[in-house]
Amino acid sequence: MYNNRMSIESKFFSKRLCGVVVFSALLSFFVPIVKALDDQTRVAVDTLATQPPPGGQQDLMDNQLSVTNAGAVGDGKTLNTVAFQKAIDALATNGGGTLVIPEGKFLSGAIFLKAGVNLHLDKGAVLQGSTNIADYPERMTRIEGHFQVWIPALVNAANADHLRISGEGTIQGGGQPYWTAFWKSIAADKVPKNLGKRGVVVSPTKNLDVPRPRNMFISDSKDVKISGISLRQSGFWNMHLFRCSDVTVENVDIRTPYHSPSTDGIDVDSCQNVTIRGCYISVDDDNIALKGNKGTSAWDDKTIPPDEHIRISGCTFGMGNSALTLGSEATLVRDVVIEDCKLAPAGTNVNCVLKLKLRTDTEQHYEDITARNITVDNTHAQMVSIEGWSQYFDLKGKPAPSQLATNITLENISGNLQKFGVVNGPKKSTVTGLTFRNINLTLKVPDVSVQGVNNLVMDNVNIKMAPPSEKRSKTRKETPASADQDGQSSK
């Protein structure tokens, strides 16, 4: 809780166009900087002390500014991008603080937090992303393993050490119109000339061809903590962390419905010392993905550090491609533990405990990866997938690189699943030191497909057939138990 709400708000005063009221007692302590927020009203948003707070991070959290004091309107209709950014800039200029979003629905385009400026969303607060793509002006950004000019996220922060994003409110993207645009592009591509092998339609539309905003993008920052909030209806990835270190994500609730493409829950891209705990994630893509560079020259890029020292615990996963995925765009990922987690029922939607994507156009090393103490109650899930990945495959005329997965351990895994999964790497890959220990599964499909592994260990692996039941539905349908269709928080 924030108990000093008036610490900054009490320092604000209004200046009407018809006159100026000057408090002489304040002039000796404060320097007013007048910002025009709209055509009708001018608000002095930074009558803050000229000296920065002396006490570090705690003072930044104590110094608070409500977005409503900066002119924002929480009616779900008024576009507040300018008011948000002016408030952020004022806080940054005057020593930092916390921008507070109170109860209400505040419509906005892309906003950019700055060093020393935190974000807090009160209970009932919704930061609603605009559905107008023009409200996300293109700029150079990191996306899918490389840099390119693309759209920013709804909430952005770069070089923001000690960043805190907290509260019981919701960051909610524009969602459906962006998903619809993507699927329309896919559908438009389905013409006879695009028929691929065995008559399967191959679409030339790629993920980034249809701009879709992420909910959150944080880059090049140390000591970051994101806690308590909900993420909903993201147009693309929900939370993207790039080249950050010492990050904690806890008690965050992330959901998108079925048929919401590319809506990964948390993408950890080239980060170190990341802790994710106590989260609920149900999305129509990877729940948590560890990412890096891609392509034949990815390994030579020294500006991109490995993903390492990642700890995931106490999380529950509903719908998803996998609770934890490595890749596809990734080079070096090491020292990763996911433990004490649960895969919950998700209607007829699939999931997987651990998935390693071995990208055949990228040199990859996946080292010391452990999944342990996992319970599964999803009869459409599988336990493991270690396979080749060729989406957007491009060697650029160079020889195919190799992939290595070593010291991979799954232990103390139990529950009811569809199948065991598949281990079968591509031609130039090596999978070595793969251990299954204390595995107790009840499966609908009893086959175990493990091929091409050096030093395979099967220790106390017990598999039972599930009793006969109705035939599995061919259509995946989201259920309220695994995600909110309307994208609202159920916390």
Spatial distance between the Cα atoms of 361 and 364, rounded to a whole number of angstroms: 9
Which of 235, 342, 354 has the alpha carbon at shortest distance from 280? 342
Give the residues across from 140 on adjacent strands.
149
Query: CB–CB of 238/215 below 8 Å?
Result: yes
* Residue 284 CB contacts under 8 Å (≥ 6 apart), including other chains: 256, 257, 258, 259, 260, 261, 263, 319, 320
Query: % helix / strand / coil in the chain, to the nearest 5?
Result: 10, 45, 45
Spatial distance between the Cα atoms of 106 and 129, rounded to a whole number of angstroms: 8
Query: Which SS3 state, helix, strand or coil, does residue 20 take?
Result: coil
Express each pLDDT in 435-480 by its tens digit: 999 999 999 998 888 999 999 999 999 999 988 864 444 444 443 3
Tokens for 38, please give them. Answer: 């709209």
* pTM of structure: 0.85
Going along the chain from its start, the domains and CATH numbers come out as 237-491 (2.160.20.10)
The amino acid sitting at 28 is S
Express each pLDDT in 70-126 by its tens digit: 999 999 999 999 999 999 999 999 999 999 999 999 999 999 999 999 999 999 999
Tokens for 341, please give them. Answer: 């987690």
- Mean per-residue pLDDT of the chain: 85
CA-based torsion, 320, 322, 324, 328: positive or negative = negative
The amino acid sitting at 23 is F
**Stretches in the chain below the pLDDT threshold 50:** 1-55, 194, 470-491
**What's residue 188's pLDDT?**
86
Q: Which burial class, exposed, middle or buried, applies to 162 when counting CB atoms under 10 A from its CB (0-12, 13-18, 19+)? A: middle
Which of 403, 387, 404, 401 has the alpha carbon at shortest distance from 451? 387
Which letter does DSSP use for residue 102 in this model? Answer: -
